[in-house]
């Protein structure tokens, strides 16, 4: 079966490798354009899946958007029978969905219909879900609304960060994709329509979502920090200066929300209910560091208030 693979971040690489390891005929890879970085925006950085495709000798297309006559013509030349999409990052419209003769399937990092959308891993932690998983779905034009083909479930660790969960789900996604393709070859995949009444959503992460609300209880603050670790990082301010927080967990203490209770060997801050101990911080323009090292320079003092 001739497969065209759509993907962008490192999350997609295990699925591409799994296809190749199983002997699948991957005829090409579609990914996003290289991104300009650096102060002058003059350095172009390729997406991880492009690096993986280049290293494996696979042809690559990098359209600004997966649409238009030029892109469709290039895709047709590959004569794909099946499209596999893993965290591509663009909406795929009907003309592209209809091009592979056996349609297109998506590897989605949640148990659909829960957490449709762009950031299911972050939102699973943020909402306090105890389990999540991978859904292989047949793609249609709606937002992650196509019929479910195959699913696998895993628990979310009580102290697990988004980065750690992403790594585990990337591997599970690869395994579940291979299982689904094996069932497809055997004619044993039965599409199950999603119940739209059970759908929840995981929209793109914006700056306001990542801000710590000190009026929340300690458990909710800890979840918010873990949900955005390592990136983009949950943040707060102290004395008007931005600070990202990492390795935060519930601690003993109480006080007005956001008040620094201890800035010695530990950094403890009052929450709306209880308190949190902060293990690592990242001041603006600096690398992550132990909170103890940051407080040692009297960057925070007891009685100050995070906002």
The answer to whether residues 165 and 125 touch, using CB atoms and an 8 Å cutoff, is yes
103 or 264: which leads in pLDDT: 103
Q: Is residue 213 part of a domain?
A: yes
Provide the residue range defining the domain that includes 106. 2-198
- DSSP-derived letter for residue 259 is B
Q: Is residue 89 part of a domain?
A: yes
**Of 61, 49, 62, nearest in space to 20 by CA:** 49
Q: How far apart are CA 118 and CA 8, in angstroms?
A: 13
Please state the domain count of the chain.
2
Task: Count the neighbouring beta carbons within 10 Å of the beta carbon of residue 203.
Answer: 13
Domain boundary among 178, 198, 218: 198
pTM, to two decimals: 0.95
Report, as an integer, the average pLDDT of 129-149.
96
Token pair of 255 as six digits = 């006080």
Q: Is residue 230 part of a domain?
A: yes
Q: Are residues 180 and 224 in the same domain?
A: no
pLDDT for 152: 98
Give 199-251 pLDDT, tens digit per residue.
Answer: 999 999 999 999 999 999 999 999 999 999 999 999 999 999 999 999 999 99
Q: How far apart are CA 139 and CA 154, in angstroms?
A: 23
Q: How far apart are CA 84 and CA 138, in angstroms?
A: 10
Q: Are residues 225 and 180 in the same domain?
A: no
Any idea what the CATH number is for the domain that residue 156 is in? 3.40.50.170
Residue 10 clears pLDDT 80, i.e. is over it: yes
Token pair of 176 as six digits = 């579940």
Confidence of residue 42 (pLDDT cuts 50, 70, 90): confident
Helical H segments across 23-62, by residue range = 48-55
Residue % of the chain over a pLDDT of 90: 93
Any idea what the CATH number is for the domain that residue 211 is in? 3.10.25.10
Q: Is residue 30 part of a domain?
A: yes
Q: Are residues 144 and 191 in the same domain?
A: yes
Cβ contacts of 157 within 8 Å, gap of 6 or more: 164, 165
Give 276-297 pLDDT, tens digit per residue.
Answer: 999 999 999 999 999 999 988 7
Confidence of residue 111 (pLDDT cuts 50, 70, 90): very high
pLDDT for 243: 97
Q: Nearest 5°: CA angle at 125, between 119 and 131?
A: 100
pLDDT for 115: 98
**CB-based burial of residue 277 (10 Å sphere; 0-12 exposed, 13-18 middle, 19+ buried)?**
buried
Which residue do the tokens 């308190």 mark? 275
pLDDT for 224: 98
Q: How far apart are CA 37 and CA 43, in angstroms?
A: 5
Confidence of residue 299 (pLDDT cuts 50, 70, 90): confident
Domain boundary among 174, 198, 222: 198
pLDDT for 264: 85
142 or 258: which leads in pLDDT: 258
pLDDT for 113: 98
pLDDT for 41: 76
Q: Is residue 288 part of a domain?
A: yes
Q: Is residue 44 part of a domain?
A: yes
**Of 165, 21, 173, nearest in space to 84 by CA:** 173
Q: How far apart are CA 165 and CA 188, in angstroms?
A: 30
pLDDT for 267: 95
Q: What is the dihedral of CA 246, 247, 249, 253, to 10 degrees?
A: -70
């Amino acid at each position: 079966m001739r497969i065209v693979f759509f993907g962008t971040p490192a999350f997609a690489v295990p699925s591409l490798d799994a296809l190749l390891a199983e002997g699948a005929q991957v005829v090409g890879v579609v990914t996003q354009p290289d991104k300009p970085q650096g102060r002058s925006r003059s350095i172009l950085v390729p997406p991880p899946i492009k690096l993986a495709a280049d290293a494996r000798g696979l042809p690559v297309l990098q359209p600004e958007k997966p649409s238009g006559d030029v892109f469709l013509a290039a895709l047709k030349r590959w004569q794909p029978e099946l499209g596999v999409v893993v965290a591509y990052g663009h909406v795929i419209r009907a003309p592209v969905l209809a091009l592979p003769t056996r349609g297109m399937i998506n590897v989605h990092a949640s148990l659909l219909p829960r957490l449709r959308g762009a950031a299911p891993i972050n939102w699973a932690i943020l909402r306090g879900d105890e389990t999540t998983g991978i859904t292989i779905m047949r793609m249609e034009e709606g937002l992650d609304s196509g019929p479910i083909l195959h699913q696998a479930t895993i628990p979310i660790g009580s102290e697990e960060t988004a980065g750690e969960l992403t790594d585990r789900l990337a591997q599970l996604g690869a395994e579940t994709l291979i299982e689904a393709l094996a069932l497809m070859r055997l004619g044993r995949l039965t599409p199950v329509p999603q119940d739209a009444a059970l759908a929840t959503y995981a929209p793109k992460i914006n700056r306001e979502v990542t801000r710590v609300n000190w009026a929340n209880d300690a458990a909710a603050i800890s979840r918010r920090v873990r949900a955005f670790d390592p990136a983009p990082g949950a943040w707060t301010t102290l004395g008007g200066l931005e600070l990202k927080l990492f390795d935060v967990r519930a601690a003993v203490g109480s006080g007005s929300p956001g008040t620094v209770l201890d800035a010695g060997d530990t950094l403890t801050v009052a929450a709306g209910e209880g308190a949190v101990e902060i293990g690592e911080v990242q001041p603006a323009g600096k690398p992550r560091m132990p909170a103890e090292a940051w407080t040692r320079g009297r960057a925070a003092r007891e009685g100050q208030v995070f906002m």
